Structure formats: C-alpha cells, structure tokens
Structure 1
C-alpha cells in the first residue's frame, strides 16, 4: 500500500515544535511518510518518526517576524520542494507556516491543513498590526484550505472572526504521551522546595508582569517562590519583567530559567505546589496538559486555550484576566487546603486521560490525513 506523504511547513519553536514532534513520533510510519520544511535557525534537533528514523527536512529562511525578502524566498523554495516531493497533504503549523504553506497549496493545488496554534492577530494590542494580521488570515482562509484547530476556542475564533466556513473547520486537540517517569534535573536547582511554576517566554502573550504582581500580593501573607521557565532568546518583554522584579524588590522570590530540556520542565512542574498561567491567549498550552498528566493543579487566566483545559473548581481555577485580588486569593486558598489540592490533582489526571492522551488520540489525526489525501485523489481523477 502506498504511503500517504505529509509535508509539514512551520517555524519550529516552542509549542509549535513540540506539537510537530509529537505528531511525527506517534503517527504510523508504515502508513504515513513525513517531510518537514522549517527555519534555518529555529531548531538544531533532527525530527524522528515512531521507529526513531530521522525524517527528511528542508531548512529555509522562515522566521517569526515578517521579512518580505526571506518570506518570498521561502515561498519560492517551498514551491520547488513540494513540486519535487509531491505530497498528498500539506500541514502548515503556526502563523508563518500558515502563510507560506497556504500560498504554495494554492499554487500546487494540494489539499492543505492549517493549525495556527493561536492566531497571529492575538499577539499584539496594536490596533493597526492586529487589523493587518487579521486581514492576512481572512485572505488566506479562502480556497482549498481546512482549518485544523488545536482547541475549541480556536475553532470558534476561526469561524466567528476569521471567516472560515464551519464545514471547513476540524478539531484535533493538542495531546501528549503520559509522563510515567520523572528524570533527575540536568541543571542545578537554585530555588527553594516551596514553589509554584510557569512555562513561557516573557512576552505580550504570557503577561508575566501581571503574574509577578499576583505573586507580590501572595507574598504579603504566604511564603512562596516562583520559577519561570522558557526565558529564551525570543523574549520581547524580558527587560520589562526584570525591571519590575527590581522595582518590587522580588529578586530572591523569582527564578528565571532559560530554555532547558523537556525532562527538566516535567521535573519542575511535578514538584511544584501548582502551575500558574496569566496568559492573554493560548492555542492549547502543552505545559498545562503536562501539568494535568502529572497531577499538578493549575490556576490560570480565563482565556483561549486555558479555558479549554481547566474547568473552574474541578481540576483547577479559572480566573478573570487582570483580576489580581481573585488570582492571589485563589493561589493562597490552594496553597493552604490540602484536600482541595488532592481533588484538583485527581481530576486533572482524569481529564488528561480522557481527552489529551496522544496514544489514544493520534488515530483521529491519521483519519483526518486520510480524508484530506482522498480529496487530492478525487481532484486528480475528475
């Protein structure tokens, strides 16, 4: 039986990179052949299939920022690659992958799936930039494209704001493998045992400044430390975060960790009192899914992605965005009530097993790939 070839196009960083690797490492290699087209400097790690075989990759000048020349070069080279590779389906991930992949799909007539992992227009509060990004999304929502949302919130925005037809929107929740083993830290532990944690680069999206102000309120009555993971090179608000820490005299209360191994992230989440997110928006955050399988309760802002994972007062707390008083009160309550913590932990594990275990859910994505490849077959035999 001929394998179905999937071409993945993306800027492979953060959760987008994690998402792709989980798909590649869990889909059936006897049924699907994958190739990856990504940025020159986004990742240095090879991609592997389920059998630990290295997957063919092509590196192009794909970056997060809009750079006309590099974007044009990436579109032309992606077109050349796909004309030669002849994939059955293009799956583009992230905003930049979505632009490049969808333009090439129009040129080649190949069925295309687009997974934004949070739409680009949500990434700024600048009205002009937001309208430009939304216009691009609307323009490229037409034609031979299916929106493959990573959450129900993303589905809703695709239909109500971007303008996708409901019949052209599908859902495949981000999902991970159960974390059955916690490895020792590969880095030196420099923070106290009594801590909470988060994963996310200091940026407009993650709203870390608000998180620090929440911690400042908590510290008035309760002793707790905050570990912030993922402070990498694409941290637009890092100076703002550092300045606020100094302003509030909280240098000994917060640890900023650069990007580290996922196994270290698991270790830190597992030992934390709870996981906290103050994000303005998400796709479907892997760090919260990881917390759920580890049984670490979450206190999170009520935004896209977060509200898809956390049910208020069941497996964690959902808190209205920018409500410092409620956020800090919920944190103090969870820190002080062991029975509540145990209940949230148990429910979080059950929620993961039901909806976000990729060992159970990968068949849903494989079915979608099969249906999309049939669209190409039907078109070529008209």
Structure 2
C-alpha cells in the first residue's frame, strides 16, 4: 500500500481536483491522507467506496501570514513524521511551499500541482518577480512539477522554476456527466442565454465579459448567467457597477453559489460557454462544457487554449479583444449548424483526453514511480 499525503488550501478548482483524485483512485493500492486549512472546505473527503478519508486541519490560508504559516509548517511536519507517507502531493501555491519544505526535511519526493502559478495573479512586475523567486527558493532536489496542463508545465520550465526533466503532466479530468438533474434553485433567467462560471476577480476578468455583453446587446438581445460570484470576489462591486453603467440589469443573472449539479444543468442548456480569464491551470468548468457538448468562446490564456481549439470546438480570442469576442459570439449564436459541429467536437475532445475514469491510471503510475519505498 502506497500512502500519499496531500497538502493544500482546499478551495475552488484545487478542492475539486483533489476530490476527483480521491474518489477515483484505487484505494486497494493507495492510501490518502489530507492536510488542509481550518477555514477552507467544511466537507469531508471520500474515497472510491464513499468512505471518509483521514484529514488534518492546520493554519493554511491563501494570504501570507508569518505566524500562521510557520505554525502550519510545524504542525504539518509533526503529522507527516507520525504518518510516514511514501509521497507528498502538494496542491495550490501555499500547499506547494509547505509540501516542498516537508519533502526537503523528510527526504520524501513531492509532486507540486499549482493549478495556476501564483505569479500569474498580478500585473505588478516586482510582485511577479518576488513570486517567481519564492517558487525557485522552495524548489529542491525532492521537488517535481506535476502540471495540470501543458501551459502550466511550460510556465514552470520557461520561468526556470523547474528543469524540464523534473516536470510531469496530469491533465485535470472529470467523470463523464451522463445525467442532468433538475435545478435545485429557481430559474430566474430566460430559456436562451450564454453562461460562465467564475468569481469576479483579477483572474476571471468578469469585467471584460460585461464589456463584451454590452457590445453584443447593441445588435442582439443576449442574456448572461454568471455562476459562483459569492466567494473571494474582490471585483464584484466593479462588475455590478458596470452592469448598472451599461443598463444591463435585465440581461445578467449573478448566482452566488449553487450545487455542481445545477452548474451542469445551466451549462448544458446554454447556447455557449464563455471565459474571459487572464490565466487558468486547466479550468474544470470548460472541461465540464466539453463533456456536456457546449461550444466555448475563450481568451487565449493558459488553460483555456489547452482545451479549446480555435475553429474546432469553439473560438479562442487573442489580446482580450472585445470586438472579436462580440463578433464570434454573435456568429455562433446565429449559426446553429456550426454550433452543432463544435458540440460534437467538444464531446469528442472530452472522451479522448479528459475522462478521469481513463486518466486516473496515469496518475496511479506516477504515484507508484515517485514513491519512496
């Protein structure tokens, strides 16, 4: 039995990623333990047989805090000394720092999955250099980059955080979505709409989406449903101000939080899925759109461009071009035949590349190869 210790700040796509791993990996060959923050997820982690996984909470937070971070390092060290894992899988920026420190102290290999490097979260050049420097400082001989996309792998190499031979790839993957459950929330938007999942933040750039929607509605009445605006949404007021400025209140539905089954329902019934993100790891909402045969129009950002092939299963917009976004959305909304082609190609891409029931074997092989016996 190989014991894997997962270390992370368990929110958003990072939380989804780990749950998909633990719920699909062969529990007869791999034992998982989880170390995460006091105030991130409150839901227990389950294995493939729906049994609870042993978890520990410590002071892992998104923000940098010297005392909390030192405390989390000390507590994590004590947990791992007692648990004696064969391998550490560190998820998220904060989990990556703590995990790599543990690997160095305990002589254990560490697989680090950023789910989008932290240095991509700022336009400030000095801050970006500091974040890259921190990534380099905590990378050691026991550290490997287990990237969630080819773009993420390339970032790690190009910024000289990891040497090429110290990088691996395991694409974010999901289970096939075979049934669409009824909505558990009231439907307050029209039957014809476009949609997105993303908290109003620098990363998701929902402000750009509102700019695009404003241009679209000069030519055609289109409704936008934005899901997931309730947590860590520091740009929510900016987005709401733009909606008022453009007189789009009747054209936008903001959903703070809802179940994943509701998200699947909304994406499936949508004409198009839109992403204006500045960067991603490999976004689950777009993988879900592929599985649900929903064409996508996305920015040419890390993660997005890995999933969408321009002119094949959607369109990729370069340089955050508002006019190009508007033109491509209007074109697809008015071209049912092309939407159907993109829908079929989206589904094909999912089945070939992003089905976790097939891909989990690749991760199991990686875990086996890098475990300390």
TM-score (norm 2): 0.99
**How far apart are the structure 1 equivalents of 2:22 and 2:319?**
35
Q: What's 1:155 paired with?
A: 153
Q: What's 2:59 paired with?
A: 61
Q: What's 1:380 paired with?
A: none
What is the CA distance between 1:162 and its match in structure 2? 3.5
Q: What's 2:292 paired with?
A: 294
Matched, 1:283 2:271: no
Worse-matched range after superposition: 305-314 or 251-260 = 251-260
- Is the 1:280–1:303 contact (alpha carbons within 8 Å) kept by the matching residues of 2? yes
Segments of 4+ in structure 1 off by > 6 A?
none
Deviation per CA, 1:79-126: give whole Å up to 9, x if none: 000000000000000101101111111111111100000000000112
Q: What's 2:198 paired with?
A: 200
Root-mean-square deviation (Å): 0.8
1:160-309 to structure 2, matched below 5 A, reads 160-309=158-307
**How far apart are the structure 1 equivalents of 2:27 and 2:72?**
27
- Is the 1:141–1:162 contact (alpha carbons within 8 Å) kept by the matching residues of 2? no
Unaligned runs of 5+ in 1: 378-382
- Is the 1:298–1:316 contact (alpha carbons within 8 Å) kept by the matching residues of 2? yes
Deviation per CA, 1:191-223: give whole Å up to 9, x if none: 111110000110000111001000100111111
- Is the 2:132–2:161 contact (alpha carbons within 8 Å) kept by the matching residues of 1? no
What is the CA distance between 1:15 and its match in structure 2? 0.5
3-state SS in 2 of match to 1:163: coil
Q: What's 2:320 paired with?
A: 322
Q: What's 2:121 paired with?
A: 123
**How far apart are the structure 1 equivalents of 2:142 and 2:213?**
47
1:75-94 to structure 2, matched below 5 A, reads 75-94=73-92
- Is the 2:100–2:140 contact (alpha carbons within 8 Å) kept by the matching residues of 1? no
Between the two proteins, the alignment pairs up a number of residues equal to 373
What is the CA distance between 1:163 and its match in structure 2? 3.0
3-state SS in 1 of match to 2:82: helix
- Is the 1:280–1:321 contact (alpha carbons within 8 Å) kept by the matching residues of 2? no
Q: What's 1:5 paired with?
A: 3
**How far apart are the structure 1 equivalents of 2:219 and 2:287?**
30
Q: What's 1:346 paired with?
A: 344
Worse-matched range after superposition: 88-97 or 102-111 = 102-111
